[in-house]
Amino acid sequence: MSEAPGACAPPLLPEAWTLRSRRDDTADTFTLVLERDGGTAFRFAPGQFNMLYAPGVGEMAISISGDPADGTTLTHTIRAVGAGTRALRQRVPGTQIGLRGPFGTGWPMARAVERHVVLVAGGIGLAPLRPAVLALAAAAEARAAAGLTTALYCGARTPADLLYADELAAWARLPGFSVRVTVDQAGADWQGSVGLVTGLMKALPGDPARTLAMTCGPEVMMRVVATRLVTLGLDESSIHLSAERNMKCAVGSCGHCQYGPLFVCRDGPVLPYPRLAPLLRVREI
Amino acid sequence: MTHRAALHLPASRLDDLFVALRGEGYTVVGPTVRDGAVVYDELDSAAELPKGWTARQSPGQYRLERSGDDAYFGYVLGPQAWKKYLFPPRHRLWSAKIADGRFEVAAGAPEAPRHAFLGVRACELKAIETQDKVFLREPAPDGVYAARRAAALVIVVQCTRAASTCFCTSMNAGPRADAGFDLALTEVLDDDAHYFVVVAGSARGAAVVEALALRAASAAECAAATAAEAQAIAQIERRLDTAGLKEKLQSQPEHPNWAALAERCLGCANCTLVCPTCFCNTTEDTTDLTGEHAERWRRMDSCFTFDFSYLHGGSVRQSTAARYRHWLTHKLAGWWDQFGQSGCVGCGRCVSWCPVGIDITEEAKKF
Amino acid sequence: MEDLGRLIKTHPFFADLAPDHLQLVVGCATNRRLGAGQMLFQEGASADHFFLLREGRVALELNVPQRGPFVFETIDDDEVLGWSWLMPPYRWHFDARAITPLRYFAFDAKCLRGKMEADHELGYALMQHFLPVIVDRLQATRVRMLDLFGATPGAGPGHV
């Protein structure tokens, strides 16, 4: 039927951003830094995502993993799992990528800054948590002075798959910060922990009423992490997860990202555990 | 909405309505018989309307048959919904030129064909308003849908007959439309006369009617119209019991009836195609062979397709049971959470057009 | 002996053990050290002890021919290690190597098994302490079998 171009404007129309740099992080993960032509500031909340378009190939939902205080560039750490993400990995600095966003709900940073924060990341799940960590890092001195702690737990498949290794070490040195890392398997040369990330979580950092947790990773991991946090005494409403579903429009009008009655692109991706818990228990929902 | 007087249009002058609509720049889209069903298409004159036709419908059955009278609008709902004119099944969102690692997107002006929808039933009007909730939702109303919706002229034809598959009364969606239309017609056909009682529901509707220079309908004519509409209500047989239905569906995802439905459901997606509120759509990115010209198209989609819920590694809803459960739960329950109303208008199309005859009004009772 | 008792009592694993049971347990305990890289025990050897780590990290590994040691878990400060002493044939199922310098308590298995036979209340209390740890580690291992961080999440190991 309708052949002629229809009306299309942001947020459905992508904007051309220039690739400033590309870095390979692990065997299948890479980081792109994008800048906007015209240089106007881009504001996003930690936890939000963009729809990135590999020209001529396709579009995919990618969490923003950069510093929310930086309005001039956008950082995306991406795992190459399909044609679109592989096409992005082949982009050369100086070329353009399409971008729509930011979309979705972010981590509850306003509450987080006045509480002990526990962050639990699994695999590529550290990428959407990184903006939250950076925001907490920027407030580290003030938070430490108020007696508030930040505990980051990271799990990865092997030591070679750990993301942001240099930054993890730097964050560990910040006042009030602790960083614990574990892998699923390692050889004899690894000095760190081997085991499930919940094995690192022995106790809450302080008063549960003044603690907030954020977790991102494979759904099974988030389920066991949430269970562990509740066992340790944290109230369910203080736990936040980042959900993932098939994304097409990212504005809640195509129906693809539905998770029960939730639109992951609008009601999520960051969701409080009480809202997600009944859905997590249901197969194929 | 300004309340206008009821006017009288003799059936013999129905073509004048077409002329008046064209005079206002509208293309008339309305019902016509084709391929054994009443479908919607562009119409040039009243001669193309399904005069004297109706359909016998039941779960998994639609049989066009002669009504035995000369009513133009005596037919009951066919398989198509008006949604195909408001959200075209396939349309291009934008095109882009790609060269030297750069790309430039061109969107183009919105197409807003001036369609006059002739023959919108109350349930269909409710369905359009239901889709409005999705496509006109803040903060990003859809440009394609919004332009077409604003341009379209809605001419309701009040139902004077119900199919056995209709259950609009259970969904507060009919059989009578009280507001939201530009014009509303009620067809009266008795031994002596054949006419329409016409009411304008908007300034645009009034403008069309003005050209026709109609006289006011008499009290008797209005009473006859009311009686004809009452007939539709009386003929409704089917009921969907919505009391507590949302909770029943959402709290029982492992109910054995989902497995039972999966034994019958073919996953053919007919229900989503004929449903006037189903809105799921998808985007497709294409490029030409040189890679210099790319386009993004949008097309209607169905949650019954296997890769609808695809996430790297596999689809979330692989089994037929899960996909059926998603569709029905969304329609009768999830919609309430999302949009504050039911997604179902009780038009009964999914009941008629399901090849295996799954009747959601019956299935709802099993939970 | 009393010093040892006080140290063991404050270890998280035995923090809530009844005083008379603690007395019995301490009677089988020694305080030890091990250098980084040294083996704590080896696969197939007699499981004559269990261990409470005070400070340091131990790698649990299985040696795979042509590939070398596969570390499947690490045990850290304040954790307990070893339950093969609880049931026949009382043999270790894997290797344990100190990754860092280690300070730990070693509990003589024969000594404790004898006391548990004589005092079933003690036996029950010790089982109650070990069981949650075993269940927790088993459950964590099951989740890791899904290979959630693999190329196809949750497809399990060996899936391309």
> What distance in Å separates the CA atoms of residue A213 and residue B163, rounded to the nearest whole number?
55
What is the residue type of B204? R
In a domain, B240, yes or no: no
Task: Identify the pLDDT of residue B1.
Answer: 36
CB atoms within 10 A of CB A180: 20
Total of domains in chain B: 2
Nearest to A184 among C69, C100, C149 (CB): C149
Query: Using the beta-carbon criterion (under 8 Å), do C154 and A218 form an inter-chain contact?
Result: yes
- In terms of domains, do A124 and A91 share one? no
* End-of-domain residue from the set B208, B235, B262: B235
Q: Is C155 on the interface with B (CB under 8 A)?
A: yes
Q: Is B92 on the interface with A (CB under 8 A)?
A: yes
Task: Identify the pLDDT of residue A174.
Answer: 98
C153 vs B contacts (CB less than 8 Å): 312-313
In a domain, A53, yes or no: yes
- In terms of domains, do B68 and B215 share one? yes
* End-of-domain residue from the set A47, A81, A103: A103
Task: Identify the pLDDT of residue C158.
Answer: 54
* End-of-domain residue from the set A59, A79, A103: A103
- In terms of domains, do B71 and B166 share one? yes
Q: What is the pLDDT of residues A222-271, one digit of tens each?
A: 999 999 999 999 999 999 999 999 999 999 999 999 999 999 999 999 99
Q: For all residues of chain A together, what is the average pLDDT?
A: 94
| Domains of chain C and any CATH numbers | 4-149 (2.60.120.10)
Nearest to A246 among B103, B147, B311 (CB): B311
> What distance in Å separates the CA atoms of residue C82 and residue C84, rounded to the nearest whole number?
6
Site of tokens 């009290």: B219
Collect the ranges in chain B with pLDDT lower than 50: 1-2
Q: Is C154 on the interface with B (CB under 8 A)?
A: yes
Task: Identify the pLDDT of residue C154.
Answer: 61
Contacts of B229 (CB under 8 A, 6+ apart): B158, B159, B160, B175, B176, B186
In a domain, A272, yes or no: no
> What distance in Å separates the CA atoms of residue B235 and residue A151, rounded to the nearest whole number?
67
Looking at the predicted structure, is the pLDDT value of residue A6 above 80? no
In a domain, A284, yes or no: no
Q: Residue window 131-150, chain B: list those with CB within 8 Å of chain A.
A: 134-135, 137, 140, 142-144, 146-147
- ipTM score of complex: 0.95
In a domain, A278, yes or no: no
Q: What is the pLDDT of residues A65-77, one digit of tens each?
A: 999 999 889 999 9
Task: Identify the pLDDT of residue C150.
Answer: 83
By C-alpha distance, the chain C residue nearest B312 is C152
- In terms of domains, do B132 and B12 share one? yes
- In terms of domains, do B104 and B177 share one? yes
Q: Say if residues B32 and B45 touch (Cβ distance below 8 Å).
A: no
Nearest to B105 among A3, A14, A245 (CB): A14
Total of domains in chain A: 2
Task: Identify the pLDDT of residue B98.
Answer: 94
Q: Say if residues C125 and C80 touch (Cβ distance below 8 Å).
A: no
Looking at the predicted structure, is the pLDDT value of residue A152 above 60? yes
Q: Domain containing B287: what range?
A: 245-365
- In terms of domains, do B256 and B201 share one? no
Query: Using the beta-carbon criterion (under 8 Å), do A255 and B303 form an inter-chain contact?
Result: yes
Q: Is A81 on the interface with C (CB under 8 A)?
A: yes
In a domain, A276, yes or no: no
Q: Say if residues A4 and B109 touch (Cβ distance below 8 Å).
A: no
CATH number (domain holding residue A181): 3.40.50.80
In a domain, A230, yes or no: yes
Task: Identify the pLDDT of residue B32.
Answer: 98
- In terms of domains, do A130 and A90 share one? no
| Percent of chain C that is helix, strand, coil (3-state, to 5) | 35, 30, 35
Task: Identify the pLDDT of residue A2.
Answer: 43
pLDDT in tens, chain C (160 residues): 458 888 998 899 998 899 999 999 999 999 999 999 999 999 999 999 999 999 999 999 998 888 888 999 999 999 999 999 999 999 999 999 999 999 999 999 999 999 999 999 999 999 999 999 999 999 999 999 888 888 766 666 555 4
- In terms of domains, do B157 and B266 share one? no
Interface of C with A (CB under 8 A): 57, 59-61, 68-74, 76, 78, 97, 99-100, 137, 139-141, 143-144, 146-151, 153-154
Task: Identify the pLDDT of residue C153.
Answer: 64
Q: Domain containing A117: what range?
A: 109-242
- In terms of domains, do B211 and B259 share one? no
Site of tokens 């479908």: B39
In a domain, B14, yes or no: yes
- In terms of domains, do A91 and A201 share one? no
CATH number (domain holding residue A82): 2.40.30.10
> What distance in Å separates the CA atoms of residue B57 and residue B352, rounded to the nearest whole number?
6
In a domain, B1, yes or no: no
In a domain, A146, yes or no: yes
- In terms of domains, do A28 and A134 share one? no
- In terms of domains, do B202 and B84 share one? yes
* End-of-domain residue from the set B235, B258, B284: B235
- In terms of domains, do A23 and A47 share one? yes
Query: Using the beta-carbon criterion (under 8 Å), do C74 and A193 form an inter-chain contact?
Result: yes
Nearest to A220 among C57, C143, C151 (CB): C143
Confidence band for A7, pLDDT divided at 50, 70 and 90: low
Q: What is the pLDDT of residues B181-210, one digit of tens each?
A: 999 999 999 988 999 999 999 999 999 999
Looking at the predicted structure, is the pLDDT value of residue A3 above 50? no
The Cα of A180 is separated from the nearest Cα of chain B by a number of Å equal to 28
* End-of-domain residue from the set B182, B203, B235: B235
Confidence band for A5, pLDDT divided at 50, 70 and 90: very low
Query: Using the beta-carbon criterion (under 8 Å), do B108 and A7 form an inter-chain contact?
Result: yes
Query: Is the pLDDT higher at A280 or at A4?
Result: A280
In a domain, B271, yes or no: yes
> What distance in Å separates the CA atoms of residue C99 and residue A193, rounded to the nearest whole number?
10
Confidence band for A4, pLDDT divided at 50, 70 and 90: very low
pTM of the model: 0.93
Q: Say if residues C106 and C51 touch (Cβ distance below 8 Å).
A: yes
- In terms of domains, do A97 and A212 share one? no
Secondary structure of A211-270 in HEC code, one letter for each residue? EEEEEECCHHHHHHHHHHHHHCCCCHHHEEEECCCCCCCCCCCCCCCEECCEECCCCCEE
In a domain, B116, yes or no: yes
- In terms of domains, do B136 and B10 share one? yes
Query: Using the beta-carbon criterion (under 8 Å), do B108 and A6 form an inter-chain contact?
Result: yes
